[in-house]
Amino acid sequence: MQITHALVGKDGFRLRGEEMSRIDGFSDVVFGFALTLIVASLEVPKTFDELQDVLLGFLPFSICFLFLMTVWLSHFRFFRRFGLHDLATIVINAALLFTVLFYVYPLKFLFTLFTSQFYTEHTEHHPITHAYQFRQLTVTYALGFTAIYLFLFLLNWNGWRQRDALQLDELERLIVRGEMVDLGATACCGVAVAIVAMLIAPQHAMAACYLFGLIGIWKTITGSYFGK
């Protein structure tokens, strides 16, 4: 039966946390809730027009979903590789879950803002009233983004710290180092966005978000994120 549940991942990383632990289960309940909170605030449509509004939510909902699944995938990969359950892992993981739950509603707000420009009929009641709010928004989200990737980085760093006790071999140490560089670089992009948003004119602060594109360039240079 070890055909597919092989104890060694495709990349050669031996899986130390193959079985589902309580931390995995607890985290998945929280991730599942985060996804549902994005939908759950929508009312059940009662008329065709309300239904159409729900369907127009497709784009922001799918972007949030994609972002959360990327975070989940990093989380999943870490716990499968290390299978750690020490106190440091529990505390960092709790901080990660807290950040995800705390940002899920504001995140939806942001993506609705970004995508509302495609649906011109909604623009009359614009949710932003002052220019400085663009700057504050951008900084808030950039810091949330940074926090999530910082915690993912810290999880891996906590595993790396115990590399001798975990008997990581040469290949595994290389992979963990790569993962840490990736996560750290992604977190730094968030910091860069926040700094640039503070420096440029407030009404253009959201343009700093284009710096997130750096992540894509980074990934292209260092090889694909998932396929390594």
Helix, strand or coil, per DSSP, at residue 200: coil
Buried b (16+ CB within 10 A) or exposed e, 141-160: bbbbbbbbbbbbbbbbbbbb
- Least distance in angstroms from the C-beta of 130 to a copy of itself: 8
- Identity (one letter) of the amino acid at 35? L
Residues 6+ apart with CB under 8 A from 145: 187, 189, 190, 193, 212
Helix, strand or coil, per DSSP, at residue 88: helix
- Least distance in angstroms from the C-beta of 43 to a copy of itself: 7
Nearer to a copy of itself, 22 or 221 (CB): 22
Nearer to a copy of itself, 136 or 220 (CB): 136
- Least distance in angstroms from the C-beta of 119 to a copy of itself: 15
C-alpha pair distances (Å), 130 with each of 59, 74, 122, 123, 195:
26, 37, 18, 15, 20
- Least distance in angstroms from the C-beta of 123 to a copy of itself: 14
213: tokens are 């594109």
Contact 197, 205 (CB under 8 A): yes
Strand partners, 14: 8
Nearer to a copy of itself, 85 or 192 (CB): 85
The number of beta carbons lying within 10 Å of the beta carbon of residue 131 is 12
- Identity (one letter) of the amino acid at 157? W
- Least distance in angstroms from the C-beta of 199 to a copy of itself: 21
Q: What is the DSSP letter of 20?
A: -
Nearer to a copy of itself, 130 or 173 (CB): 130
- Least distance in angstroms from the C-beta of 177 to a copy of itself: 19
Nearer to a copy of itself, 35 or 191 (CB): 35
Nearer to a copy of itself, 130 or 177 (CB): 130
